[in-house]
Amino acid sequence: MTEFASTLFPALMIVTAALAVALFRASRRLDGVERRLAELERRPQPAADTARPATTAQPTARPESAQPAVQAKRASVPPPPREAPPPPPQRSRIQFETLVGRRLPIWIGGTALVFAGFFLVRYTIELGVFGPVTRTTSAAIFALLLLAGSEVARRLPATASDPRIAQALAGAGIASAYGTLYVAAAIYHLIPPLAAFLVMLAITALALALALRHGPPTAAMALIGGFVAPLVAGFQAAGIGPLLLYLALFTGALFALARQRGWAWLAIATCAAGFGWVNFLLWMLDGRSAGGIGLLVLLIAVAGSLTLPPAKRAWLRAAPLVAGLVQLMVVAPVLDFGPVAWGLYCVLSAAALILALRDTRMMPGAFAALILILVLLAIGFGNPAPGVTAWAAIAATLLFGGIGLWRLENDRDWGWIATGGLGAPLLFANMLAPHLLPGFGWFLIDSALAGACGWLSWRAADHANRDDPALILGATFAAALGTLAVTAIAGSDTGPLALALTMAALSLWARRTGDTMLPRLATAAFAAACIAAALPIIDMLGLALRSVAGSRLPYRTLFDLGPLLLALAPPAIAAIAIAAYDRSALGKDRRFVLPVAILLALWCLYALAKQPLAIATPQAFERWGFLERALLTQACFAAGWWLTRRDMQSLGKALLALGAFRFLWFGLLLLNPTVVAQQVGGIPILNAVFVSGALTAFWLWTLPQWPRLRWAAAIVTGIAACALVRQAAHGSILTGPVTTAENWGYSAALLGLAIFWLWRGIAHGLSDMRHFGLGLLTLVTLKVFLIDAAALTGLLRILSFLALGLALIGIGWAYGRFVATTSEAPNQPLPNPDPLG
């Protein structure tokens, strides 16, 4: 049986090809007839009023003086009544009487005749009156009588006026014939399988002929019976080859009938039933004869799209093609993505392209063919041996890219096919099966295709109308293939660098064309670079969380410097440079891309800053930990201070906020050197803790555009003064208890700072400085009376109170003179509070 099926496969292919050619030629002839009919309808019709004489006298010119009288006379004569246009034809409504009284009884009667035949056979079986041969013969005679009755009803004058009678009898006869065949072949085994198959062919041919003669009801009966008949006779009775041949011939005949009569419903029903048989055979045969099944899919898809009338919607005409492509996606894995599977898919894709060339309304089928062949390539490259799939990718590139380039001048929509065909198939091959070629081979192929796609984008940009799809899609594939070309020759580690170069190229291309979608491609390239650098980014996020949580040795978990910089630096530098060169380069995505790029750049700088000291042990942390953190904090403050004074407010504020967070969280709370032992330096003034506090106060004092920060600057200045006293009392390590001398040192330093602020506020008319001085003086006074004096006795207590009293009296006297002076000149302007001008 297998040999017989294999011998029929070439014949099936020849028949399929011949049927497709015949359908194509028939469709061309029908299109010509439709065009001629449309031309006849557009010709002008003769005038309806034939009673009017052929020539009429031309009106003579009248003098202007006579015109008012003529107009008055015309106004007095009423215009002739216009004839009302004929009412539009009313659509006949199906009334209850018509439906129940005329239509339903006829079809119910036909159905009753079918059941009568079956019940008659059953009754004879139950009584045992006749044998199997007699019963089968009686059923066959009954079917022939019904068919003959349909012809008689069609010719008799009494019944010829109602064609439904002949239709019902013909449908009942066809159904009875199929039932008789089932009884003879499947129940009584009176007919061998091959003979049953031949009888089934004859019944099906008769059903189609009667459908052509009697109309849609008989055609529906023929469709149902023809597709059910193989199940009646046993679908494997004559072999899979003859069955596939029968299904191919039957579906082709149904499509031809639907094309000739203009029955779109019949074409759609044939497609649905045919694909149903395809899936049934795939399931029952477990992958056997999948090549022949694929040919059947090809026939159904192409013939179904050719059969549907051109007046139908585009998506409906493309539906058989799309369904066939999807169906072949099921067949291809059964054939292990071999030459037969890919041959069928490429042939069907070519058919979709040819139909789109013939009728632009079939373009959805071409788009679906491209998308589905890419999906199939992605699946096929996952096989252990994707060699045939690689050749299929080349064939798809030549097929879609070649036809798309050929038709690019005629229709802009072919730009999608051209760019997708040139770029996508081999792009998938490179990404999913890079082992098929060496790096230099992929470099040559990717570079050539990237150049072709770039040329398409360049060509589209030169047109007056810039909404050409080739502009965006060509740039997309050129960027992707160019990136793969660089990584193929330089290694996968250079992916972020290649994507950064791609991002810069896309930004320049967007600036040159002025297109609003191209900046999104640059954003996509930046996102791809971030995805390529996922491991270093995840590592840096984990390091940041551990550092904020109090880790003293983050250097141990730092990513390797070389791979880290290669992954993070290129996209960060590219995005920042693009944003600096052209503020509109990234479009609306700028507010998302730029912060991420700055964060990546800060991580790179952080990794570089960790390298010189390389704090990897507790001893190194105690020696260099505070100094390293202070340097990083002051670098943030300095960069933010400089940027804010250059009108780069957003980035400057972000860096100032980062510096303030580091100073507050690490310097004062989490890793305070007075709690956690760390060396700050032995020189009283030039030590890390005092210099860090003083510089922080300087950055905050010298930001005049933000006056509210002066309160924070005053607090940080007081902290720096206390740090100076602490370092003088304890040396390089600031941990330990507070001594009496240190306590008085805090009071003296803060008192001196309060006096300085009062003097500066009075001398320069700075009200906030006076407020800072008075507030700090109040705090120092309370501290002296409540804390410091409680620990003194004797002469030291007297001297301390004497010095404090004299200082307070002097301050009060000076402040009183200032108040008296300002009351005499209340409108005197205050100088600039910024010490730097």
Chain segment 133-153, per-residue pLDDT in tens: 776 777 777 777 777 777 777
Give residues with Cβ within 8 angstroms of 583, minimum separation 6. 590
Task: Tell whether the model's pLDDT for residue 186 goes beyond 50.
Answer: yes
Q: pLDDT by residue (tens digit) across 477-499? A: 999 999 999 999 888 888 899 99
Query: H-helix or E-strand containing 108?
Result: helix 104-127
Q: pLDDT by residue (tens digit) across 220-255? A: 766 776 677 666 555 555 567 777 777 777 787 778
Low-confidence winner among 264-278, 561-575, 613-627 (lowest mean pLDDT) = 264-278
Q: Does residue 733 sit in helix, strand or coil? A: strand
Low-confidence winner among 55-64, 138-147, 612-621, 716-725 (lowest mean pLDDT) = 55-64
State residue 288's pLDDT score.
72
Across the chain, mean pLDDT equals 76
Give percent above pLDDT 70 in the chain.
69
Task: Tell whether the model's pLDDT for residue 345 goes beyond 80.
Answer: yes
Separation CA 659–CA 666 (nearest Å): 10
537 vs 836 pLDDT, higher one: 537
State residue 124's pLDDT score.
57
State residue 82's pLDDT score.
52
**Residue 188 φ then ψ, to 5°:** -95, -15
Q: pLDDT by residue (tens digit) across 19-46? A: 344 434 444 554 554 566 556 555 555 4
Task: Tell whether the model's pLDDT for residue 464 goes beyond 60.
Answer: no
Closest CA to 401 of 355, 440, 361, 449: 449
State residue 222's pLDDT score.
67
307 vs 397 pLDDT, higher one: 397
State residue 66's pLDDT score.
44
> Angle at which helices 387-396 and 339-358 pack, to 10 degrees?
10
Residue for token digits 């906030």? 768
Task: Tell whether the model's pLDDT for residue 734 goes beyond 90.
Answer: yes
Report field, pTM of the whole predicted structure over 0.75: no
DSSP state of 679: B
* Confidence at 75, pLDDT banded by 50, 70, 90: very low
Separation CA 475–CA 415 (nearest Å): 12
813 vs 830 pLDDT, higher one: 813
CB < 8 Å & 24+ apart, contacts of 18-25? 19/248, 19/252, 19/299, 19/303, 20/299, 20/302, 20/303, 22/256, 23/252, 23/255, 23/256, 23/259, 23/302, 23/303, 23/306, 23/307, 24/306
Average pLDDT rounded to a whole number, residues 109-131 = 57
Average pLDDT rounded to a whole number, residues 720-731 = 93
Contact 652, 658 (CB under 8 A): no
State residue 710's pLDDT score.
87
State residue 773's pLDDT score.
84
Q: Which residues sit opposite 733 in a β-bridge? A: 679
